[in-house]
Amino acid sequence: GAGVSQSPSNKVTEKGKDVELRCDPISGHTALYWYRQSLGQGLEFLIYFQGNSAPDKSGLPSDRFSAERTGGSVSTLTIQRTQQEDSAVYLCASSLWDRGSGETQYFGPGTRLLVL
């Protein structure tokens, strides 16, 4: 079946502009995650959605970052008033949330954001 898809694949924006990044998880996966990976850096957790539960926003770096997940499927990560330090690859992942099996997250290809 299809994997996690993200759009756009690349985004160049000017400092101060807002951007929206989209994630389509694997069909049937109830859990959805957003991460950020800066050049040469490791993976940084941003936010997690699980079913109808309140999202875990503990990783969002500032209030300029927000995310929503509509209908338990597609998710949008919004960055308002972008700054140059927001430049990174934004990765989305989804998982079945099949407790007891050790969770495996399936990642999309990422959106490469460059803030000029």
Partner 1 sequence: LAKTTQPISMDSYEGQEVNITCSHNNIATNDYITWYQQFPSQGPRFIIQGYKTKVTNEVASLFIPADRKSSTLSLPRVSLSDTAVYYCLVGDEDDYKLSFGAGTTVTVRA
Part in contact with partner 1 (CB under 8 A); list of ranges 11-19, 65-73, 74-82, 107-115 = 107-115
| Residues found in the chain | 116
How far is CA 15 from each of CA 21, 40, 83, rounded to the nearest angstrom? 16, 22, 5
Near partner 1 by CB under 8 A: residue from 93, 94, 113, 115: 93
| Number of residues in contact with partner 1 under rule CB under 8 A | 31
Find out whether 32 and 97 touch, Cβ atoms under 8 Å. Answer: no
Nearer to partner 1, 19 or 108 (CB): 108
Footprint of partner 1 (CB under 8 A): 4, 31, 33, 35, 37, 40-45, 48, 56, 58-59, 91, 93, 95, 99-110, 112
